[in-house]
């Protein structure tokens, strides 16, 4: 008899209601691949874009989800012992092959990152992709020790994680939000300065850091990128990492006019290899010891997936949205 599992399947593009919980055959591992029992997974805006049919990636029918956290069930290649706690991120998950919105997921061994922890699954499920993107963005921006970091879109899950990591590295953190009521959240997470985002904040940022910030991560999108560049110091780097406003491209992009002299512009989109196991383990340990926090916005069960996507789409919840599969 074929073993079954509960999963969220996408058979057509559209609104949150196209996500349907169903019973599907449980996959079996083959050499080079690992089967994980998924205990929790975080939600990501790229999954929202995929659900809508935006971009040029992925195919249907598909189980979405670019990350998952759980335990190794099968690893025919011997890469991991059965029972090992692990996260899987990126590598085509939820696009080229079925992803983490399920009780079990089959992934390439190269996407699996092992760890040890007694933290609850909701906390562990919030960390992998959020930390990978935050750590990767901070790595490409590479602000000088003791300098400053501007996080444009600070109340996003990546923005909150960036604040935590940046403070642990001794940086002065300037985070933005459009909602003044969320200022305390940003300060509690690590922001030294909170700037209310009117769309034009470069002058305000330079009142805090007259020479410009030592690096910046753009999470809002193309509409605020030019202003973020204006807030950045010469020889410092801005990473275009997120698009919470769903603005992907800069119209009539003329680099000489758009990018201030000496400011560097890059982008970040990473893979599992950008989150070394020791970085993941160090962060998990710091959370367990009370030296870092995981900015969880809300926790859902698998059957709540439609509401979870509505909340992600509306932006009504600050922090990482997490689904626990056995809730």
Domain residue ranges in the chain: 4-127+294-324, 130-267
- Residues ≥6 apart with Cβ < 8 Å to 9: 19, 20, 22, 24, 61, 62, 63
CA angle, 99 then 103 then 104, to 5°: 60
Residues 59 and 222: their CA atoms lie apart, in Å, by 27
Per the prediction, the chain carries an average pLDDT of 95
**What is the predicted pLDDT for the residue at 56?**
61
Return the HEC string of 251-288: CCCCHHHHCCCCCEEEECCCCHHHCCHHHHHHHHHHHH
Residues 259 and 232: their CA atoms lie apart, in Å, by 10
Are 141 and 239 spatial neighbours (Cβ–Cβ below 8 Å)? yes
Which pLDDT tens digit goes with each residue over 13-43?
999 999 999 999 999 999 999 999 999 999 9
Arch. (CATH architecture) of 130-267: 3-Layer(aba) Sandwich (3.40)
Residues 102 and 116: their CA atoms lie apart, in Å, by 22
Are 8 and 38 spatial neighbours (Cβ–Cβ below 8 Å)? no
Which pLDDT tens digit goes with each residue over 125-156?
999 999 999 999 999 999 999 999 999 999 99
Query: For residue 88, what are the β-bridge partners?
Result: 68, 112
Q: For residue 291, what pLDDT band results from cuts at 50, 70 and 90? A: confident
Are 134 and 161 spatial neighbours (Cβ–Cβ below 8 Å)? yes
User: pTM of the entire structure?
Assistant: 0.90
Which pLDDT tens digit goes with each residue over 229-283?
999 999 999 999 998 877 778 888 999 999 999 999 999 988 888 899 999 999 9
- Quote the DSSP letter at residue 130: H
The class of domain 4-127+294-324 in CATH terms is alpha beta
Which pLDDT tens digit goes with each residue over 169-225?
999 999 999 999 999 999 999 999 999 999 999 999 999 999 999 999 999 999 999
Q: What is the dihedral of CA 64, 316, 239, 141, to 10 degrees?
A: -100
Residues 60 and 285: their CA atoms lie apart, in Å, by 38
**What is the predicted pLDDT for the residue at 54?**
85
């Amino acid at each position: 008899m074929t073993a079954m599992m509960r999963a969220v399947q996408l058979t057509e593009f559209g609104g949150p209601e196209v996500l349907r919980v169903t019973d599907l055959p449980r996959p079996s591992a083959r050499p080079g691949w690992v089967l994980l029992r998924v205990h929790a997974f975080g939600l990501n805006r790229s999954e929202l874009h995929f659900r809508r049919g935006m971009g040029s990636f992925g195919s249907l029918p598909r189980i979405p989800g670019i990350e998952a956290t759980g335990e190794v069930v099968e690893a025919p290649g011997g890469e991991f012992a059965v029972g090992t706690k692990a996260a899987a991120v990126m590598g085509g998950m939820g696009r080229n092959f079925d992803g983490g919105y399920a009780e079990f997921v089959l992934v390439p061994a190269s996407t699996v990152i092992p760890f040890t922890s007694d933290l609850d699954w909701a906390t562990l499920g919030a960390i992998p992709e959020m930390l990978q993107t935050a750590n990767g963005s901070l790595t490409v921006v590479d602000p000088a020790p003791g300098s400053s970091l501007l996080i444009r879109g600070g109340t996003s899950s990546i923005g909150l994680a960036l604040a935590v990591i940046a403070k642990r590295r001794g940086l002065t953190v300037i985070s933005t939000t459009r909602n003044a009521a969320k200022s305390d959240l940003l300060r509690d997470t690590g922001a030294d300065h909170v700037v209310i985002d009117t769309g034009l904040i470069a002058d305000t940022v330079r009142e805090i850091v007259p020479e410009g910030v030592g690096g910046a991560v753009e999470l809002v999108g193309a509409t605020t990128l030019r202003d973020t560049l204006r807030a950045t110091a010469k020889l410092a780097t801005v990473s275009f990492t997120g698009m919470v406003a769903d603005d992907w491209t800069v119209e009539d992009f003329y680099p000489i006019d758009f990018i201030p002299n000496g400011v560097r512009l890059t982008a970040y989109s990473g893979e599992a290899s950008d989150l070394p196991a020791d970085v993941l383990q160090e962060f998990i340990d710091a959370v367990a010891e009370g030296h870092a926090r995981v900015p969880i916005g809300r926790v859902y069960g698998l059957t709540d997936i439609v509401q979870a996507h509505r909340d992600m789409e509306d932006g009504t919840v600050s922090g990482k949205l997490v689904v626990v599969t056995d809730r």
